[in-house]
Amino acid sequence: MGSPASGGARASFARSANVSTLPELHLIPQAEFERLRAADVDRDAALALLADMCRANALVAVKRAGSGHLGSSFSALDIVVHLLVEELNTAELGWDNPERDVFFSSKGHDVPGLYAALHALGVISTERLLRLRRLGGLDGHPDVGVPGIEANSGSLGMGISKGRGMVWAKHRLGHGGRVVVMTGDGELQEGQNWEALQGAAYQHAGRLWVVVDRNELQSDKPTEEILALGDLEEKLHTFGWQVTSCDGHDHAALREAFAGFRAGPPDVPKALVAQTVKGKGVSFMEHPYALVEGGGTYRWHAGAPDDEAFARAHVELLERVDAGLLALHLDPVKLELVPPLEEGRTYGLEGEPESGAGAPRPQRVTDEYVVDAFGEALLSLAEREPRLVVLDADLASDCRVRAFELAHPHRFIEVGIAEQDMVSMAAGLARLGLVPVVNSFASFLASRANEQIYNQASEGTKVVYALHYAGLIPAGPGKSHQSLRDASLLAALPNVTIVHPANAEETRAVVEWAVLAAAENVAIRLAIGPSPRRIDLPADWELTPGRGTTLRAGTDGLLLAYGPVMLHEALAAAETLAERGASLQVVDMPWLNRVDAEWLVELVSPFPDVFVVEDHAPIGALGDMLRRERALEARSLTVFGVEGWPACGTPAEALRHHGLDGSSLADRITLALRTGTRG
Ligand SMILES: Cc1ncc(C[n+]2csc(CCOP(=O)(O)OP(=O)(O)O)c2C)c(N)n1
Ligand SMILES: [Mg+2]
């Protein structure tokens, strides 16, 4: 365990801490990695230094991006560097060569470290590394569109299956090369891993190697506290794998472990359980220290460090790199100044998931988080509804159910990273008379556990599904996390009502209604970030199933939207149109698959032109429901939704890219009204 480093001689930033501007950043250029690789020095010492140099660059990229996963990147980096620089033939043969060894990370959120390693190898340019989580730059989770990335990941638990497929394909196509898949240890809680583990052994996939980054932590708590893995080596061995374990930061040990794999039986898949430290390389991010500092939660899983923490971390890494170079009789590392962001930091990165108690929240637009209101509502309902129980799949902080867990530990079930298990368990709870509220990100809950939800719904019981992080924003994590398909996945189920509340007040009312009053299942879509503006509901407002609320009156067109993000854009569009002399009525319509026909007839009757803004794909949500309503039959209905794959970038970049920011919407609506071109 290290102690937190204090700032050293080599300060890496000049200005004082300021959330709206970035400090000066310095990157280690690719030539410096080449210099070290070409030096005639002890290889293991050089590999350790290369990993630290990558840590420094990953830190800079994440700081500049304003978000990203450092803890996991740092625990994995010695292994990643060892594989790419020393063990695998990929860099030598090239990423297009069919004979190459394939490496990818199933966990995916460790990708800032992998990007830094690919930059060190000259595969990713400096310009691109500096555009982490920006439109046209590097996605927040792996995407095969980026050079050196072999598989899309970010939704945990799929990598071993995919690797198994790659090995099968290599065999079928007569190609050489191994397939090496990195997994997290928490990630192994996903059941799919165990399907793949037994399948790979049964099929003698000897060229499949799995490296478990055994850092003993998951989102922000120890694996032992969430869902203990038990004797992992023994489990893997029982599943038919050749298993070894070593210190994942010791290059000599890694070398030996991989040599053992190469010498092992060719028809037996190989698993390395690499003992690592989450946050390795920066003393105050290393998990033994950071867990104590965080009072039992680890704060460096997700989110960028503030200026002060960044500077301390960067200095510590660079000082160790220089000391290491000196010990090898090499010159200190040269740095290059990173050009400032073209636009400065004028955008907010609000809403990026962050971990741990006490992590500073990034710049925000308002103080309102609907997800806070959700967590508070659950707490207040605990007494009124004794049958209420809350389930979580290792996202308790992001889903704001930690307070419920602490207050009602016996009514809280932590299932680990196992959404399917969670949903079917909730089905069992509901069958025996409890009211379960099931939490995860919409992406993982509605889609991965869709069959389990269907099965539960078919039993006629009631479960409340909290679909967190629903919608386009935040857009930095990329398409694995942005959920633009969940409503379409659930809307066809006869007894699931989908609601997407606009503000804290509506969220509280929806949660109360769902838990206390609703007769059937309710799926509540929730924005994860702060509301871009406070949406005011009328003083006499009451939640009425199937009915929306007019937020702004108008005469030229009617625009329905839902949720804080898109309602903000809808209102911004109406404000822009008002400046142009057109008046748009804006309605908050939180019910995505239920509508009160009488209310709708009255609402739309003055308007020949009706518009919908979806925080969803244009398929299967509010627009599609309205399209089927008789009230809309003689009207033109135009649906603006997230077309194609959701863009990765800042909120402003992503909204504009999809034509869903207020000003683009105003233009699109103007055009539709003027030309009569709808759709
Ligand atoms: C299917 C799925 N569920 C939940 C998440 C959210 N999530 C991201 S990282 C993480 C914890 C991963 O822990 P571990 O596998 O141990 O990786 P580490 O960060 O420790 O390297 C969780 C729950 C996800 N990305 N995918
Ligand atoms: Mg872990």
Dump pLDDT digits (tens) for 479-516.
Answer: 999 999 999 999 999 999 999 999 999 999 999 999 99
Phi and psi torsions of 412, nearest 5°: -125, 130
Smallest CA separation from ligand 1 atom 17, residue: 184
Which tokens is 184 given? 């997290």
Atom of ligand 1 nearest to the CA of 185: 16
pLDDT of residue 352: 54
Dump pLDDT digits (tens) for 616-656.
Answer: 999 999 999 999 999 999 999 999 999 999 999 999 999 99
Q: How far is the CA of 72 from the centre of ligand 2 (A)?
A: 7
Q: Which residues surround ligand 2, an ion (CB under 5 A)?
A: 184-186, 215, 217
| pLDDT confidence band for 360 (50 / 70 / 90) | very low
As beta bridge partners, residue 613 has 640
- Which one, of 262, 470, 194, 512, lies nearest residue 383 by Cα? 512
Query: What interhelical angle do 504-512 and 370-384 show, nearest 10?
Result: 30
How far apart CA 566 and CA 579 sit, in angstroms, is: 20
Proximal ligand: closest to the CA of 440: 1
| pLDDT confidence band for 454 (50 / 70 / 90) | very high
Three-class SS string for 326-369? HHCCCCCCCCEECCCCCCCCCCCCCCCCCCCCCCCCCCCCCCCE
| pLDDT confidence band for 677 (50 / 70 / 90) | low
How buried is residue 261: exposed, middle or buried, by Cβ count under 10 Å (0-12/13-18/19+)?
buried
Contact 61, 73 (CB under 8 A): no
| pLDDT confidence band for 2 (50 / 70 / 90) | very low
On the question of a common fold for 370-525 and 549-675, the answer reads: yes
Q: Contacts by 128-133 with C-beta closer than 8 Å and gap 24+?
A: 129/27, 129/57, 129/61, 130/27, 130/61, 130/64, 130/338, 130/339, 132/61, 132/62, 132/64, 132/65, 132/68, 133/65, 133/66, 133/67, 133/68, 133/476, 133/477, 133/478, 133/648, 133/649, 133/650
Smallest CA separation from ligand 1 atom 12, residue: 218
How far apart CA 133 and CA 111 sit, in angstroms, is: 11
Strand segments (E) across 132-187: 179-184
Q: How far is the CA of 104 from the centre of ligand 1 (A)?
A: 16
Nearest 5 degrees, angle CA 175-CA 178-CA 184? Answer: 145
How buried is residue 6: exposed, middle or buried, by Cβ count under 10 Å (0-12/13-18/19+)?
exposed
Contact 428, 456 (CB under 8 A): no
Dump pLDDT digits (tens) for 548-602.
Answer: 999 999 999 999 999 999 999 999 999 999 999 999 999 999 999 999 999 999 9
Q: How far is the CA of 249 from the centre of ligand 2 (A)?
A: 15
Atom of ligand 1 nearest to the CA of 213: 21
| CATH number of the domain located at residue range(s) 370-525 in this protein | 3.40.50.970
How far apart CA 529 and CA 350 sit, in angstroms, is: 6
pLDDT of residue 674: 78
- Which one, of 189, 226, 206, lies nearest residue 107 by Cα? 189
Atom of ligand 1 nearest to the CA of 72: 21
Q: How far is the CA of 231 from the centre of ligand 2 (A)?
A: 15
Three-class DSSP category at 279: coil
106 CB within 6 A, ligand 1: no
Three-class DSSP category at 558: strand
Tell which one of 107, 161, 421 to mutate to probe ligand 1, the residue whose CB is within 8 A of the most ligand atoms. 107
Q: How far is CA 54 from the centre of its chain?
A: 22
Q: How far is the CA of 444 from the centre of ligand 1 (A)?
A: 11
507 CB within 6 A, ligand 1: no
User: Which pTM was predicted?
Assistant: 0.94
Atom of ligand 1 nearest to the CA of 190: 1
pLDDT of residue 340: 85
418 CB within 6 A, ligand 1: no
Q: How far is the CA of 479 from the centre of ligand 1 (A)?
A: 15
What residues does each domain of the chain span?
A: 26-337, 370-525, 549-675
% of the chain surpassing 90 pLDDT: 91
Which tokens is 550 given? 């007019």
187 CB within 6 A, ligand 1: yes
| CATH number of the domain located at residue range(s) 549-675 in this protein | 3.40.50.920
Contact 238, 425 (CB under 8 A): no
Dump pLDDT digits (tens) for 137-158.
Answer: 999 999 999 999 999 999 999 9
Dump pLDDT digits (tens) for 506-557.
Answer: 999 999 999 999 999 999 999 999 999 999 999 999 999 999 999 999 999 9
Contact 67, 476 (CB under 8 A): yes
Reply yes or no on whether the pLDDT at 86 is more than 60.
Answer: yes
Nearest 5 degrees, angle CA 121-CA 123-CA 128? Answer: 115
Contact 325, 333 (CB under 8 A): yes
DSSP summary character for residue 150? -
- DSSP for 52-80, please give it: HHHHHHHHHHHHHHT---HHHHHHHHHHH
Reply yes or no on whether the pLDDT at 357 is more than 50.
Answer: no
Proximal ligand: closest to the CA of 184: 1
Atom of ligand 1 nearest to the CA of 444: 1
461 CB within 6 A, ligand 1: no
| pLDDT confidence band for 95 (50 / 70 / 90) | very high
CATH domain 26-337 topology: Rossmann fold (3.40.50)
Phi and psi torsions of 91, nearest 5°: -65, -35
**What sign does the CA torsion over 591, 592, 594, 595 have?**
positive
How far apart CA 8 and CA 156 sit, in angstroms, is: 38
Q: How far is the CA of 218 from the centre of ligand 1 (A)?
A: 6
Q: How far is the CA of 152 from the centre of ligand 2 (A)?
A: 19
